[in-house]
Chains A and B, each alone.
Chain A
Amino acid sequence: QVQVQQWGAGLVRPSGTLSLSCAVTGASFTGNYWSWIRQSPEKGLEWIGEINHRGTANYNPSLKSRVTLSLDTSKTQFSLTVTSVTAADTAVYFCVRLRSGNFMDVWGKGTRVTVSS
């Protein structure tokens, strides 16, 4: 059974950097895209970006200048970094398997990230 387990800091200072990671078990990186979604009352569900096993990434243009996705194939882990955070980045962040690049069939439990001083 494919599972994704996520972790990272739940509180980030304004102008700081948000970092989250996700470990994949039960599946290979190959053939799938691995994605991050965030959810806030203001914006609802928002796709942040995706990365495949080759490290090819696609980003939401609204966040592209501040977001980096990366992966460690040896550990089957992938990570999200968001720089220069503001209160607008406060949200629950989910790591997700994006099957065939189309549908999100495996979700992490979510990490609530608050941007506050």
Chain B
Amino acid sequence: DIQMTQSPPSLSASAGESVTITCRASQDIFRYLNWYQQKPGEAPKLLIREVSDLEAGVPSRFSGSGSGTDFTFTISSLQPDDIATYYCQQFENFPLTFGGGTKVEI
């Protein structure tokens, strides 16, 4: 299985600050990586697919980059509504696997 390692496990930042989450794959996954947001008590929501393509309706303050084994997810100006846990997910190979999540707090 491809292991996905996210860091940090949690972070706290002020509103308006930029935050960055990293996701590292245990092997080359090219650009086969998605990002999800999960708020407490809700299902995950797809934010970004294939590294950097924002889903419709997702604010432009969210962005992603990377390729190979190292990827980043950035919120350029943190908003109170962004309080959630964020997950990366690879689809280069079966089984599909997720990172352990990064909890973002203000």
A residues touching B (Cβ–Cβ < 8 Å)? 44-47, 58, 60-62, 94, 101-105, 107-110
Contact B91 A101 (CB under 8 A): yes
Indicate which residue in B36, B49, B97, B98 contacts A102 across the interface (CB closer than 8 Å): B49
Count A/B pairs, Cβ under 8 Å.
49
Contact A44 B101 (CB under 8 A): yes
Summarize B's interface: helix, strand, loop or mixed.
Answer: loop
Indicate which residue in B50, B55, B87, B98 contacts A105 across the interface (CB closer than 8 Å): B55
The interface residues of chain A lying within 8 Å CB-to-CB of B101 are 44-45
The interface residues of chain A lying within 8 Å CB-to-CB of B95 are 47, 60-62
Contact A102 B46 (CB under 8 A): no
Give the size category of B's interface with A: 20 to 34
Q: Which of B40-71 contact A (CB under 8 A)?
A: 43-46, 49-50, 55
Q: How far, in Å, is A67 (CB) from chain B's closest CB? A: 12
The interface residues of chain B lying within 8 Å CB-to-CB of A44 are 87, 98-101
Task: State whether the Cβ of B34 lies closer than 8 Å to any Cβ in chain A.
Answer: yes
The interface residues of chain A lying within 8 Å CB-to-CB of B34 are 102-104
